[in-house]
A and B are shown apart, each in its own frame.
Chain A
């Protein structure tokens, strides 16, 4: 019995040390974003900022237009949320409820999209958007979401397949057409799936760096990740580490908050998409 307790304490110690190591980068960026320029570069390092200053955040938000980038990021994310949830529910429902020509082929193609490195499709996709005249707009970052995305389709497919068939049949008898059945009955019943997909899409779209790097050229259109990526080249931030840290805090804070509030859904989504996808 005694060894069992010792083992338990041992577990707690290891888990706590591990968790602390995982958190060090977060604590460090937060602490340094609140320091004056002289205190950021100091050996031995100052662990708790003294004096505390919000100057770095002011510079980043106002002078380096992170306020603007944040609005852009939210716009892209919200459009992605609407597109992905709506289209994935539609497509997932189609796959789950009907037998139609070419279904197997489409399903195989969906799995293939997950296997193919994005580098293979990157150049032709860029070519399509440039031919269509959509370079330096948000279209390339938003429109693909409206055409379905494998993880989302999969989640809805699993969800709708597991729901009792009677639901569909009785609605049909009551004179509802399949579109109505999806949006009046099935969709409202799949709230956990919707939540999971919302969280996954939010984080994916917010963190997207490659897309904005390829498609956005005008500074005013940058998203936060793009603003942060190019921050080093700005004279103010290049000279001041604290300003860059504040930029990093602003960029990561929204996803961290979303994650902490909806951890349950997120972890679930990650398991099912990571495993089955």
Chain B
């Protein structure tokens, strides 16, 4: 490593510009805006804590948070469990490994807009494939993403999100499993440990930091999910029961021109994400194993 302010700063100069213009300034400015009334055309007017108090006393705000929590509660555990199972199976000498991996990964790279068009069709009441299969099994069809029950609507979006995101988690966990040192596994085998024991007593503890990391990542992605709601719900006529924080931010800002409340909501979202990450870190010590 060479000491050189000139060359170092020259090389990273685009980054310095970028981070100031598109990160530091926006973050500070948005913090300031959250204490003002602003429509983007007239100068912002300072209103103190009004936006923050208004947000907390707005029932839609609490509905939005309930929905996001519910969304994460379905999405994160399901995705982690499925990803673990598939990664574990692919971690054996399996033929067509590349093919399987590609299949599971494919939804991940598909644009949400395209995915949503298909899923709306699959979830359709009259002509949807899912209801058709349910009816073949003698069950009643149901409304899904367009259900009047919020927990069905948000739940069906959470399931789609598992379809979309599982591949990435699976690939990360598979890489972690392949990094488990073979000597340890061999030693355990020599001691007479069975496959299940090896999986439970060696693989799982060894990959637990990675499992933990993917869980944090998917929790954050659940809280910041935007495209899935934008494409599956109609933002312009969204019933309050299906509202989520991100859509609220977008609607307040770009439909009603209320930049103050929109910034407040965005900050609240960030604060909640921080709190959850901290809580998850506290629980981490109970089950995550780190090598020293």
Q: Are the C-beta atoms of A271 and B30 separated by less than 8 Å?
A: no
- Judge whether A8 is part of the interface by a CB distance below 8 angstroms: yes
Distance of A105 from chain B, by nearest CB (Å) = 10
Q: Choose one: B14, B19, B246; the contact of A87 (CB below 8 Å).
A: B14
Interface string of B1-14 (1 = CB under 8 A from A): 11111011111101
Q: Are the C-beta atoms of A209 and B231 separated by less than 8 Å?
A: yes
Q: Are the C-beta atoms of A94 and B10 separated by less than 8 Å?
A: yes
Q: Which residues of B contact A (CB under 8 A)?
A: 1-5, 7-12, 14-19, 21-27, 29-30, 33, 40, 82, 85-86, 89-90, 92, 94, 98-107, 109-115, 117-119, 121-122, 126-127, 129, 132, 163, 166-168, 171-172, 175, 210, 213-214, 217, 220, 223-224, 226-227, 230-231, 246, 249-250, 253-254, 259, 262-263, 265-267, 269-270, 273
Q: How far is the CA of A135 from the CA of B70 in the complex (A)?
A: 36
Q: Choose one: A98, A120, A203, A209; the contact of B227 (CB below 8 Å).
A: A209
* Stretch in contact with the other chain, from A50-58, A74-82, A248-256: A248-256
Q: Choose one: A40, A93, A225; the contact of B113 (CB below 8 Å).
A: A225
User: How large, as a class, is the contact surface on chain A?
Assistant: 35 or more
Q: Choose one: A109, A125, A225; the contact of B19 (CB below 8 Å).
A: A109
Contacts of A247 in B (CB 8 A): 114, 117
Contacts of B82 in A (CB 8 A): 18
A82-102 residues at the B interface, CB under 8 angstroms: 87, 90-91, 93-95, 97-102
Q: How far is the CA of A270 from the CA of B109 in the complex (A)?
A: 11
Q: Are the C-beta atoms of A128 and B21 separated by less than 8 Å?
A: yes
Contacts of A182 in B (CB 8 A): 11
Distance of B214 from chain A, by nearest CB (Å) = 8
Q: Are the C-beta atoms of B94 and A228 separated by less than 8 Å?
A: no
Would you list the 4 A-B pairs with minimal beta carbon distance, nearest first?
A94-B11, A147-B18, A100-B8, A98-B8
Contacts of A12 in B (CB 8 A): 94
Contacts of A248 in B (CB 8 A): 113-114, 117-118
Q: Are the C-beta atoms of A8 and B92 separated by less than 8 Å?
A: yes
Distance of B58 from chain A, by nearest CB (Å) = 17
Interface string of A168-185 (1 = CB under 8 A from B): 000000000010001000
- Judge whether A48 is part of the interface by a CB distance below 8 angstroms: no
Q: Choose one: B18, B25, B266; the contact of A148 (CB below 8 Å).
A: B18
Q: How far is the CA of A102 from the CA of B8 in the complex (A)?
A: 10
Dominant SS at the A interface? helix
Q: Are the C-beta atoms of A106 and B15 separated by less than 8 Å?
A: yes
Contacts of A64 in B (CB 8 A): none
Q: How far is the CA of A245 from the CA of B127 in the complex (A)?
A: 14
Contacts of B259 in A (CB 8 A): 123
Known: A15-B86, A22-B106, A117-B270. A153 touches B113 (CB 8 A): no
Q: Are the C-beta atoms of A91 and B266 separated by less than 8 Å?
A: no
Q: Are the C-beta atoms of A110 and B246 separated by less than 8 Å?
A: no
Contacts of B126 in A (CB 8 A): 41, 43
Q: Choose one: B100, B103, B113, B267; the contact of A209 (CB below 8 Å).
A: B113
Q: How far is the CA of A100 from the CA of B15 in the complex (A)?
A: 14
Contacts of A24 in B (CB 8 A): 122, 129
Known: A209-B113, A256-B109. A123 touches B30 (CB 8 A): yes
Contacts of A122 in B (CB 8 A): 249, 253, 266
Q: How far is the CA of A8 from the CA of B93 in the complex (A)?
A: 9
A44 closest partner in B (C-beta): B132
Q: How far is the CA of A206 from the CA of B168 in the complex (A)?
A: 18
Q: How far is the CA of A247 from the CA of B29 in the complex (A)?
A: 39
Q: Are the C-beta atoms of B129 and A15 separated by less than 8 Å?
A: no
